[in-house]
């Protein structure tokens, strides 16, 4: 009786954690974090399609446009006005769909393991964060989950089609292929007729061919002169990077606020201990029991990781590189669940409930709290306030400029959000100020003077190069300034123009 009560309690807590994970994906979506240029770029493409224009075929980083993501963007923009929430809805829908589909797609692992995987996916900080901003790779977890669902069922065609879709979402998702092939290999039923075996072998061969073809596309981003051995030599760094990606500390560092050194160390230690238990006693028991599923999942995960390390491991050195390693999330969950069942079959769901609760506490304190109370202390593009700063500034500029406002934006992180949010009639006329980055030389100052003389606004971040140029170009007494603020009263973003006889404007949001 007590055992049944504990089991029911675990299922009840699991349901609560999934609900809280979904809530964390939705709360204050309009301002946490601040709107960044990558999101707004996709919003502008969607508006172009609705206006009859042909969208870009490649993103500014050179990847092909994700048609699934763009299609959702077009759909939501067809019924909703341009806003931070609108441009993030496709990511939110994709993230919620991944959580809701985790249970049926992971069912081949068993009821308890499928529930545990759903809880962990719902509570994983990286998964929550990627449901909260409109990047094409926000569909990466859903695409990877669909592919793994096919492989867990031994369905080669399903798996191959899902892998192609995952590659279309983002090229880095192709690195999940070795994991999928390992799962499919152990699921070829023994005693099949020769024709059926040939079909299975052909499907696996097709998967291998797709992997080779995809690598031909990905190799240009990988190592050149340093060679593959130097990439493998950096494996310890890449392992730590992977732990921090899965624990959430790297996404906090880039988006909300860099955690304290002790916090990072605690997350690293917890992840390392868990990995050691699973890959030590857990893997040992799997080997002794000749558990083909657990061994295939572990070997496939290692193979995918090593392939990524050899081809594109250097991408992990970038500050915002989590999107390149997102393909590891679902395979790591499946491998962990398989090895966990070998250690304690009845405790898998209970362990996931404890881990999920800790992950949600981590996300609340490491992501939501810094954005809510301080507006963020990470990348300037993600800083925010009571009203999202670019939204607040666009509203203020429109109120201060009856005709179509002209804006010279400081950089990528201001140009695309203002271009997107200022799209309703009369649309903003937005240009780049990015060519003026650097020291405020006389030539650059004169160029800003000429821009301001046309009546245009110059927009930039607090303490940025646009502010320095404006200060050199025009005396402060002749400048009219609009400001957007974070919750502590720090200025986040400003717009400057030569003052009109009218009173000075302010967004009013502090």
Q: For 468-503, what is each residue's pLDDT tens digit? A: 999 999 998 899 999 999 999 999 999 999 986 443
Per the domain annotation, does 35 fall within a domain? yes
pLDDT given for residue 310 in this prediction: 83
Per-residue pLDDT, averaged over 210-219, amounts to: 60
**How far is 360 from 128, CA to CA, in rounded Å?**
10
- Residues 145-176: tens digit of each pLDDT: 999 999 999 998 899 899 999 999 999 999 99
Query: 204-213, 294-303, 444-453 — which is least confidently predicted?
Result: 204-213
Which pLDDT band holds residue 52 (cuts at 50, 70, 90)?
very high
Same domain? 317 vs 437: no
Per the domain annotation, does 230 fall within a domain? yes
Per the domain annotation, does 504 fall within a domain? no
End-to-end CA, the chain = 56
pTM here? Answer: 0.94
Query: 9-13, 260-264, 317-321, 391-395 — which is least confidently predicted?
Result: 317-321
Same domain? 419 vs 292: no
Per-residue pLDDT, averaged over 400-404, amounts to: 88
Same domain? 374 vs 407: no
Same domain? 276 vs 392: no
Torsional sign, CA 33, 35, 36, 38: positive
Same domain? 150 vs 265: yes
Same domain? 359 vs 456: no
Q: Which residues form the domain of 455?
A: 385-498
Q: Which of 226-235, 282-291, 499-508 has the highest mean pLDDT?
A: 282-291
pLDDT given for residue 114 in this prediction: 98
Percent of the chain with pLDDT over 70: 87
**How far is 224 from 305, CA to CA, in rounded Å?**
19
- The tokens for 148 are 């793994």
pLDDT given for residue 413 in this prediction: 95
List the alpha helices (DSSP H) in 124-260: 125-129, 140-152, 156-169, 177-185, 194-218, 227-233, 235-247, 249-251
Same domain? 141 vs 211: yes
Question: Pairing mode, if any, of strands 491-498 and 457-461?
Answer: antiparallel
**How far is 197 from 202, CA to CA, in rounded Å?**
8
Same domain? 413 vs 392: yes
Per the domain annotation, does 187 fall within a domain? yes
Nearest to 177 by CA among 200, 151, 154: 151
Per the domain annotation, does 507 fall within a domain? no
- The CB density around residue 123, as the number of other CB atoms within 10 Å, is 27
Residue 208 has pLDDT above 70, yes or no: no
Q: Which of 346, 379, 412 delimits the end of a domain? A: 379
Q: Which of 379, 411, 436 delimits the end of a domain? A: 379
Per the domain annotation, does 8 fall within a domain? no
- The tokens for 63 are 């990847």
Per the domain annotation, does 503 fall within a domain? no
Same domain? 74 vs 195: yes
Same domain? 130 vs 237: yes
Per the domain annotation, does 510 fall within a domain? no
pLDDT given for residue 250 in this prediction: 95
pLDDT given for residue 212 in this prediction: 60
Same domain? 254 vs 169: yes
Residue 256 has pLDDT above 90, yes or no: yes
Same domain? 258 vs 394: no
- What backbone phi and psi angles, to 5 degrees, belong to 485? -120, 155
How many independent structural domains does the chain possess? 2
**Comparing 213 with 351, which gets the higher pLDDT?**
351
Q: Which of 363, 379, 395 delimits the end of a domain? A: 379
Cβ–Cβ under 8 Å, residues 151 and 159: yes
């Amino acid at each position: 009786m007590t055992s049944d009560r504990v089991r029911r309690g675990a299922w009840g807590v699991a349901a609560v954690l999934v609900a809280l994970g979904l809530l964390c994906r939705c709360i204050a979506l309009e301002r946490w974090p601040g709107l960044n240029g990558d999101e707004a770029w996709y919003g502008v493409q969607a508006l172009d399609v609705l206006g009859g224009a042909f969208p870009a075929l490649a993103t500014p980083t050179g990847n092909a446009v994700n048609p699934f993501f763009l299609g959702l963007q077009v759909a939501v923009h067809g019924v909703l006005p341009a806003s931070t929430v609108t441009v993030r809805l496709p990511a939110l829908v994709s993230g919620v769909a991944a959580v809701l589909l985790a249970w049926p797609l992971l069912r081949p692992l068993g009821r308890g393991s499928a529930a545990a995987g759903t809880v962990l996916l719902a509570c994983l900080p990286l998964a929550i964060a990627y449901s909260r901003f409109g990047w094409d790779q926000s569909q990466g977890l859903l695409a990877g989950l669909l592919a793994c669902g096919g492989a867990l069922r031994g369905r080669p065609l399903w798996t191959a089609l899902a892998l192609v879709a995952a590659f279309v979402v983002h090229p880095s998702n192709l690195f999940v292929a070795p994991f999928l092939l390992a799962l499919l290999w152990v699921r070829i039923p023994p005693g099949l007729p020769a024709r059926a075996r040939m079909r299975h072998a052909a499907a696996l061969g097709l998967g291998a061919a797709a992997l080779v073809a995809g690598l031909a596309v990905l190799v240009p981003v990988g190592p050149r002169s340093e060679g593959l051995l130097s990439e493998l030599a950096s494996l310890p760094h890449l392992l730590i990077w992977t732990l921090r990606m899965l624990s959430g500390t790297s996404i906090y560092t880039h988006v909300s606020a860099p955690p304290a050194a002790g916090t990072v160390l605690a997350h690293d230690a917890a992840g390392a201990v868990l990995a050691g238990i699973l890959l030590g006693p857990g893997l040992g028991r799997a080997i002794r029991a000749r558990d083909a599923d657990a061994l295939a999942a572990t070997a496939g995960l290692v193979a995918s990781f090593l392939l990524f390390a050899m081809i594109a491991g250097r991408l992990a050195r970038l500050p915002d590189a989590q999107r390149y390693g997102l393909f590891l999330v679902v395979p790591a969950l499946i491998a962990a669940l398989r090895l966990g069942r070998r250690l304690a079959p009845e405790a898998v769901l209970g362990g996931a409930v404890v881990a999920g609760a800790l992950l949600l506490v981590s996300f609340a304190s490491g992501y939501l709290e810094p954005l809510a109370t301080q507006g963020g202390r990470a990348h300037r593009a993600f800083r925010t306030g009571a009203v999202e700063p670019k939204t607040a500034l666009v509203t203020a500029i429109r109120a201060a400029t009856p005709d179509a406002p002209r804006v010279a934006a400081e950089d990528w992180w201001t140009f695309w959000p203002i271009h997107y949010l200022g799209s309703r009639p009369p649309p903003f006329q937005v240009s780049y100020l990015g060519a003026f980055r650097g020291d405020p030389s006389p030539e650059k100052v004169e160029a800003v003077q000429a821009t301001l003389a046309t009546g245009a606004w110059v927009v930039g971040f607090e303490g940025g190069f646009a502010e320095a140029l404006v200060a050199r170009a025009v005396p402060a007494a002749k400048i009219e300034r609009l400001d957007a603020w974070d919750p502590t009263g720090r200025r986040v973003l400003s717009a400057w123009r030569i003052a009109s006889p009218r009173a000075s404007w302010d967004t009013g949001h502090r």
